[in-house]
């Protein structure tokens, strides 16, 4: 969220977003490279959300969801997931998220809700 005061843009994170970024940074710090990445990177994010009742109550839909054939189309949007992740990895995995040259974000249903993030250094 942001506002403009005295001609300057002021940004603030809602508490929920702030805690999410802190959690992502904590987990990422366990995988921090010896040297921070300074070059271009590609990011692949997979979001696994709990199954909706309409999916879990139908054995046919549940089976399709588990195989990745029935995809999650509800909010939040994929870009909402990835923005917090990108911010959390700044100065930890890479110098700045502006180094990102490729991005793939996917949403799936899962009995095991989680988020997987893979950062790949792009050779130039």
- H/E stretch holding 101: strand 100-109
Query: Which has more confidence, 62 or 43?
Result: 43
Name the 3-class secondary structure at 72: coil
Q: Which DSSP string do the residues of 87-101 spell out, in sequence order?
A: HHHBTTTBS-GGGEE
Specify the pairing of strand 8-11 against strand 2-5: antiparallel
1, 17 Cβ separation under 8 angstroms: no
Compute φ and ψ for 58, nearest 5 degrees: -115, 115
pLDDT of 38 reads 94
pTM over 0.85: no
Burial of 62 (0-12, 13-18, 19+ CB in 10 A): middle
Between CA 34 and CA 48 the distance in angstroms is 29
Q: What is the mean pLDDT of the chain?
A: 86
CATH code of the region 9-121? 3.30.1330.70
Q: What is the pLDDT of residues 18-61, one digit of tens each?
A: 888 889 999 999 999 999 999 999 999 999 999 888 888 888 99
DSSP 12: -
Q: pLDDT at position 4, please?
A: 54
d(CA 97, CA 79): 14
């Amino acid at each position: 969220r942001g506002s403009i005061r005295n001609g300057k843009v002021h940004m603030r994170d809602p508490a929920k977003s702030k805690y999410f970024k802190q959690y992502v940074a904590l987990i990422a710090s366990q995988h921090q490279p010896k040297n921070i990445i300074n070059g271009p990177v590609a990011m692949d994010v997979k979001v696994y959300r709990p199954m909706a009742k309409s999916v879990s109550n139908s054995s046919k839909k549940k089976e399709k969801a588990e195989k990745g054939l029935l995809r999650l189309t509800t909010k939040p949007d994929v870009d909402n997931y990835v923005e917090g992740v990108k911010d959390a990895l700044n100065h930890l995995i890479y110098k700045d998220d502006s180094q990102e040259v490729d991005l793939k974000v996917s949403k799936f249903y899962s009995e095991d809700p989680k988020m997987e993030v893979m950062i790949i250094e792009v050779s130039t």
